[in-house]
Amino acid sequence: MTIAVGEKLPDVKLKKAGENGPEDVQTGDYFKGKRVALFSVPGAFTPTCSAKHLPGYVEKAGELKAKGVDEIVCTAVNDAFVLGAWNRADGSSDVTMLADGNGDFAKALGLPLDLTGGGLGHRGQRFSLLVNDGVVEQVNVEAAGEFKVSSAEHLLEQL
């Protein structure tokens, strides 16, 4: 079952690329006490994710923060090294990358994505959430092959 407005985020361990290697991040603690624009992509360095999804949040970071967002977080079913490299290549310090290497967060949210037919394995769906103190305020899940409702522009309209 997909996470819904009013529900608390599942408490799952993610990884963040740190100066000395991957650092554990517990979602229950990380999202506490702040309003977060959370978006997820099927994979770092993939076409739509690199050309549109991440750049949109980088470009709109100031506007999101002006409307009360404390932090912008991107997740993907990739490891922390890949997400760290992607952020250095295409992101910014305005976006925090949290790796969901085993897809545990995507599964706990009810948003896994099976791309084994295309050789990409098990991933997470493309979505965005607005999370306030660990509680979901907005849920935007893309239809297969779409890129509309999970964009930074759409989330801005919801604020």
pLDDT tens string 59-86: 999 999 999 999 999 999 999 999 999 9
**48 pLDDT higher than 90:** no
DSSP 8-state class, residue 125: -
97 is in which domain, residue-wise? 13-158
**Do residues 39 and 53 make contact, with C-beta atoms less than 8 angstroms apart?**
yes
Q: What is the CATH number of the domain that holds 20?
A: 3.40.30.10
Would residue 49 show up in a list of annotated catalytic residues for this protein?
yes
pTM over the 0.85 mark: yes
Whether residue 106 has pLDDT greater than 80: yes
C-alpha R_g of the chain: 14
Tell me, yes or no, whether 98 lies in a domain.
yes
Give SS3 for 15. strand
CA separation for the pair 148, 83 (Å, rounded): 22
Name the active-site residue from 44, 49, 80, 111: 49
The pLDDT of residue 121 is above 80: no
- pLDDT at position 116: 80
From edge to edge, which strands make up the β-sheet containing 35-41?
A: 21-26, 13-18, 95-99, 71-76, 35-41, 127-132, 135-141
pLDDT category at 11 given cuts 50, 70, 90 is very high
pLDDT of res. 40: 96
- The number of folded domains in the chain is 1
Residue at 127: amino acid letter: F
